[in-house]
C-alpha cells in the first residue's frame, strides 16, 4: 500500500531522461545533493545521477505538499558541480519572468530575465539567446544561481508549468533532447562566469 502512495515523479523523470538517450540512474537516498534547496516545508523525492557526458551531474526533485487552497508544487534542480570562486556576497542569480497574454491561464508571449547586481551580463546573454528564452516559455520558470555551502557549483531551478488540475495531477514533466542540450548550454554559460 505504501508503494502505491509514494510520489513517483523521480522514477518517471529518470525514465524520460533514459528515453531521450541519457545515461541516468536514481542515486541512493540521503546524499548531500538532496539538501539542494530543500527547506523544512519541502521534501526531496531523491536525486537522479547523470552518467552521460554532461555539465549537469545531478538532478534533485523537490516537492511541496498541497493544502486546501494551495495545490502541490514540484521543482527540479539541475546541479552543475564547479569550484565557485565568487564569495556568497558576489553570488550569481538570474530568473525568468514569463509575460502572459492573460494572467494565470494566458499564453506566454515573452520572457524577461531579472538579475542581481553581479549577473547583468548573464541576463543580457539569456535575453539574446532564442533557445534559452524558448526553454522558459515552453517549460516554466527558470532560475540560475551560484552555490557556496554544502554544494559548490551552480543550480538551474525549473518549476514546470502547473497542471490545469493541480489538485489531482502533477505537471507534465517532460523534456526533449534539444531542451536538455539547452540546459547544458546554460550550464556552460554559468561556468564561463566563474
Q: State CA 179 to chain mean position distance.
A: 12
In this prediction the pTM is 0.87
Residue 24, φ and ψ in degrees, nearest 5: -130, 145
In terms of Cβ atoms closer than 10 Å to its own Cβ (0-12, 13-18, 19+), residue 56 is buried
Q: Are strands 73-81 and 108-115 parallel, antiparallel or unpaired?
A: unpaired
**Can you say whether residue 63 is alpha, beta or left, with left for phi > 0 and alpha for psi between -120 and 50 degrees?**
beta
Query: Domain span at residue 173?
Result: 2-193
The answer, yes or no, to whether residue 123 has pLDDT greater than 90, is yes
pLDDT of residue 159: 86
Q: Give how many domains the chain has, as a whole number.
A: 1
Q: Which region among 38-52, 118-132, 180-194 has the lowest average model confidence (pLDDT)?
A: 38-52
Give the residue carrying C-alpha cell 557526458. 53
Residues 50 and 22: beta-carbon distance below 8 Å = yes
pLDDT of residue 2: 45
Amino acid at each position: 500500500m505504501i508503494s502505491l502512495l509514494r510520489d513517483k515523479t523521480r522514477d518517471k523523470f529518470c525514465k524520460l531522461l533514459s528515453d531521450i538517450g541519457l545515461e541516468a540512474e536514481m542515486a541512493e537516498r540521503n546524499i548531500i545533493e538532496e539538501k539542494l534547496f530543500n527547506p523544512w516545508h519541502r521534501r526531496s523525492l531523491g536525486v537522479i545521477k547523470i552518467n552521460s557526458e554532461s555539465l549537469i551531474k545531478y538532478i534533485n526533485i523537490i516537492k511541496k505538499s498541497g493544502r486546501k487552497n494551495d495545490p502541490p508544487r514540484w521543482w527540479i534542480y539541475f546541479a552543475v558541480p564547479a569550484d565557485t570562486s565568487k564569495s556568497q556576497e558576489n553570488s550569481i542569480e538570474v530568473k525568468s519572468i514569463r509575460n502572459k497574454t492573460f494572467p494565470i491561464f494566458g499564453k506566454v508571449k515573452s520572457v524577461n530575465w531579472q538579475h542581481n547586481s553581479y549577473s547583468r551580463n548573464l541576463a543580457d546573454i539569456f535575453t539574446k539567446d532564442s533557445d534559452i528564452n524558448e526553454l522558459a516559455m515552453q517549460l516554466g520558470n527558470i532560475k540560475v544561481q551560484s552555490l557556496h555551502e554544502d554544494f559548490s557549483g551552480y543550480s538551474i531551478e525549473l518549476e514546470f508549468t502547473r497542471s490545469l488540475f493541480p489538485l489531482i495531477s502533477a505537471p507534465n514533466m517532460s523534456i526533449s533532447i534539444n531542451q536538455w542540450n539547452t540546459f547544458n548550454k546554460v550550464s556552460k554559460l554559468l561556468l564561463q562566469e566563474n
